[in-house]
Amino acid sequence: MPPILLHLIPASLYAGLSVWFWHNCSQAADPKSRQNMTPYERIVLLAALAVHGIALHRALFPGEEMRFGFGVALSLMVWLAICFYWVETLYTRLGGLHALAMPAGAVASLIPALFPGQHVLANAGSPAFRVHFIIAMLAYSLFTLAALHAMLMAFAERRLHDARLSRILSTLPPLLTMEALLFRLIGIAFVLLTFTLASGVMFSESLFGTAFRVDHKTVFAVVSWLLFGALLTGRRLRGWRGRIALRWTLAGFVALMLAYVGSRFVIEVLLHRAS
């Protein structure tokens, strides 16, 4: 299969599902009656995820080396986030969130084709590095899903206060349910980010082939860890919620994106360099 098709097929499936969900929500007599995916919709999304995953594998491993540029990093984070989302729909009614996740998937599946990147990861064959890499990507993807979730909550809350809740937004779960899901995502992601930072500090030489050093990626990652740690502490001790929680979530996510994706974007897209 031509490489471009591996990007166009999932993008088309994601886009088709997005149009389908928006149409169903806008046409249903009772929007709340369509709060979860049908088996058919779930299979189509699973197919999109499968082809998207194959495309990512080919982009990550074009040969014996491992390449991980800006486009692949962003696409991988969104892909993992939608995988978590797909699993979450098995246990939680997430109507209204479908129309947000699908466009993100469509864009993310095309980004590696537009920005393939040439950055080769050193020590990619090391088992320790691969464990570190997987944990880091899981943390990034959960924080990505949490950030998308937080933005939708902020928009829905504002429309609710203005008494202008649209038919699409009326299919969302209650805000308290969404808030509980948000903190569950952040809590799991925070633990994974803690393992990522700890392993990077303690085993830097075996993971990356160099002694530990403080650079911009480390600084932004630690800042993100502190922001999310403060958010979880504030939630537990002071009951932080609502707009305060949403602002801390987005601030932590921005810092985390600057740690790797932002720097790769500057190097590859703005400066046109491989490393």
Note every long-range contact of 211-220, with CB atoms under 8 Å and residues 24 or more positions apart, other chains counting. Answer: 216/258, 216/259, 216/263, 217/259, 217/260, 217/263, 218/259, 219/259, 220/255, 220/256, 220/258, 220/259, 220/262
Mean pLDDT calculated for residue range 146-160: 77
What per-residue confidence (pLDDT) applies to 232? 94
End-to-end CA distance of the chain: 30
What per-residue confidence (pLDDT) applies to 148? 82
Which two tokens mark 250? 């987005």
Q: How many helices (H) and strands (E) does the chain have?
A: 10, 0
Q: Is the pLDDT of residue 230 over 90?
A: yes
What per-residue confidence (pLDDT) applies to 109? 92
Mean pLDDT calculated for residue range 183-212: 78
Q: How far apart are CA 189 and CA 139, in angstroms?
A: 5
Q: How far apart are CA 152 and CA 160, in angstroms?
A: 12
Residue 149 CA: distances (Å) to CA of 62, 101, 119:
33, 9, 31
What per-residue confidence (pLDDT) applies to 229? 94
- What are the DSSP calls for 151-200, one per residue? HHHHHHHHHHHTT---TTGGGSPPHHHHHHHHHHHHHHHHHHHHHHHHHH
By three-state DSSP, how is residue 67 classified? Answer: strand
Q: What is the pLDDT of residues 207-227, one digit of tens each?
A: 555 656 667 778 888 999 999
Q: Assign 189 a pLDDT band (cuts: 50, 70, 90).
A: very high
Give the global pTM.
Answer: 0.78
Mean pLDDT calculated for residue range 72-86: 87
Mean pLDDT calculated for residue range 122-135: 75
Q: Assign 181 a pLDDT band (cuts: 50, 70, 90).
A: confident
Q: Is the pLDDT of residue 263 over 80?
A: no
